[in-house]
Chains A and B, each alone.
Chain A
Amino acid sequence: MDVAVFWVLAVLAVVCGVMVFRFDSMARATFSLLASLLCVGGLVVLLGLDYLGIVIVLMMTIEMAIMAVFMVMYMMNPAGLMPMTMIHNKKGAAVVCGLVFALLAAGILLAPWPARRGKAPADPTMDLGMSLMGPQMLTMMTLGMALFATIVATVVLATRRGRYDRFGDDLRARRADDPVRGGVGR
């Protein structure tokens, strides 16, 4: 059963991955990629890492949905409704892909894979959390805050309207002058 599921998911993942480059529509390419990633999530669940697998499904769905919007938005033809191709620089890309594939395949075949030591943990989610978070909680928290601060800083730097636009040159205005009224009483 597991073997059958593995092959179905693996073949689907590869086929969907290939179709990303065959489709001529950005929406189809994006969701083909999503389908491929969902299959990968299923494969991770099959490995017994339920939590990681489900999180892959969750994150990839949200990410690809948002990606679809941004990719269509930034396409050169209006709304991305015209046929397009995901393939550029075909020869160079083919060479790079071939090399990477050969490298990875060689790695799989040549690496001295270790045999399993000990038993599989009863609760892999718990063990994963402990090994990620346990002694490194402070690192994770700092990292999270740093990433969040980066996002906020980027948005602040990128926005056209600064606080002087909103609150006047002396920052004295009682109400912010926003083009769009907000939801918290402004």
Chain B
Amino acid sequence: MGERTPLWAVFVLPALLVGAALVTAGFDAVLAAGARRGRPGSLRETAVRAAEPGRQVLRHLVQQPRRTRASDLPLARIGAGLLPVAAVLAAVVLPLGFRSVSDLPEGIVWFNAMEALAWAAVWLAGWGPNSTLSLIGGYRFLAQGLAYELPHMLAITTAALGAESLRVGEVVDAQAGLWFVVWMPVAFVIYLLSAMAMAFWGPFDQPAGRDVAGGAGGELSGADRVLFLGGRWLLLVVAAAFSVPLFLGGGHGPLLPGWAWTVLKTATVLAFLVGVRRAIPTVRIERYLELAWVVLTPLAIVQALVVAVVVLNR
């Protein structure tokens, strides 16, 4: 692993993540506009569309905030604020190239723990406004959470098992010759699925679905709304970016420097996830739950077993 990371990296990280989230959201907005019209727009139109998320943020910030009756404002605020904080804290162990802000010895567990904070955040944001639909959104996320978390945890553990270390840096180092995705494809697919689910994104967006009027974040307005919906984008970016050091070899690659490879791979995964949301409709909860428990969890365990046998025979 590289040398110590300078202190300014701590301040650069959130800015970098927000930038990445805005670009991803802009890309999504362009895709959405293209899908609505059935043809790609001109270059100028595309640029206007891509700036849409930024405009949305500004609009929310200057808008008159709405309040619901008898809301638990502190809890709703904590929930909305906790989501981006959890995403940024999880990103602390993300290596850009071969350097992360802090390469904790237990980085992989740390990442998972911070992701779990997002659960609490979504439930709080749903509970706080004292409104049925947002409450349903919050409950939905928690009810689904366990089914997402178990295969997710097993997939992450498989990568750690392959590298025989919980340190993200060592997981990257272990992939110098062969990317983990090659011999842990099942874990990789399960990770991507559950990463989307953790950010309640794509086919798993029921907690914030239209059938419950926006769900968990439905009643939030103003800065709270920006934090909540922005935090969700951050979570998606971080979850997608973490698949790179875990399965896609981190900064390893020919010619280009390490950081460029990380950015390139992360962008590819993100583009794929954004595309998946456009291509696949929302999956009904009970269908995915059964799939997660009956198919994905056993598959993840078998994958972990295969990796364990390989590692033991090495």
Question: Which residues does A use to contact B, with CB under 8 Å?
Answer: 25, 27-28, 31, 34, 50-51, 54-55, 57-58, 61-62, 64-66, 68-69, 79, 81, 123, 125, 180-184
Contact = CB atoms under 8 A, between A and B. Distances in A.
27 contacts: A27-B75, A28-B75, A31-B120, A31-B124, A50-B105, A51-B105, A51-B166, A57-B116, A58-B109, A58-B116, A61-B119, A62-B116, A62-B119, A62-B149, A64-B120, A65-B145, A66-B146, A69-B123, A69-B142, A125-B105, A125-B106, A181-B286, A182-B286, A183-B287, A183-B288, A183-B291, A184-B290
B78 A31 contact: yes
Contacts of B289: 183
A174 to B, nearest CB: 18
B151 to A, nearest CB: 13
B109 A27 contact: no
A55 B124 CA distance: 22
Nearest to B74: A28
Contacts of B188: none
Contacts, number: 83
A66 B116 CA distance: 11
B259 interface: no
Given A27-B72, A27-B127, A61 B106 contact: no
Chain B interface SS verdict (over half):
helix
A57 B106 CA distance: 13
Contact of A50 (B104, B117, B294, B295): B104
B242 to A, nearest CB: 15
Interface of B: 72, 74-75, 78, 104-106, 109-110, 112-113, 116-117, 119-120, 123-124, 127, 130, 135, 139, 142-143, 145-146, 149, 166, 286-291, 294-295
A78 to B, nearest CB: 12
A55 B105 CA distance: 13
A62 B166 CA distance: 20
A176 to B, nearest CB: 12
A61 B72 contact: no
B290 A65 contact: no
Nearest to A186: B290
A48 to B, nearest CB: 11
Given A55-B113, A62-B146, 19 more contacts: A28-B74, A31-B78, A31-B124, A34-B120, A50-B106, A51-B166, A54-B106, A55-B109, A58-B113, A61-B113, A61-B116, A61-B119, A68-B127, A180-B286, A181-B286, A181-B287, A182-B290, A183-B286, A183-B288
Contacts of A81: 130
Contacts of A65: 116, 119-120, 123, 142, 145
A125 B288 CA distance: 35
B134 to A, nearest CB: 13
A57 B90 CA distance: 13
A68 B287 CA distance: 25
A31 B117 CA distance: 11
B142 A51 contact: no
Contacts of A50: 104-106
Nearest to A73: B139
Question: Which one of A28, A61, A66 has the highest number of Cβ atoms from chain B below 10 Å of its Cβ?
Answer: A61
A67 B166 CA distance: 28
A51 B106 contact: yes
B109 A51 contact: yes
Given A65-B142, A181-B287, A182-B286, A123 B72 contact: no
A50 B78 CA distance: 26
Contacts of A34: 120
Contact of B105 (A58, A123, A180, A182): A123
Contacts of B294: 182-184
Contacts of B104: 50
A110 B135 CA distance: 50
3 tightest A-B CB contacts, nearest first: A183-B287, A58-B113, A183-B290
B295 A54 contact: no
Nearest to A61: B116
A69 B105 CA distance: 33
A27 B74 CA distance: 11
B105 A28 contact: no
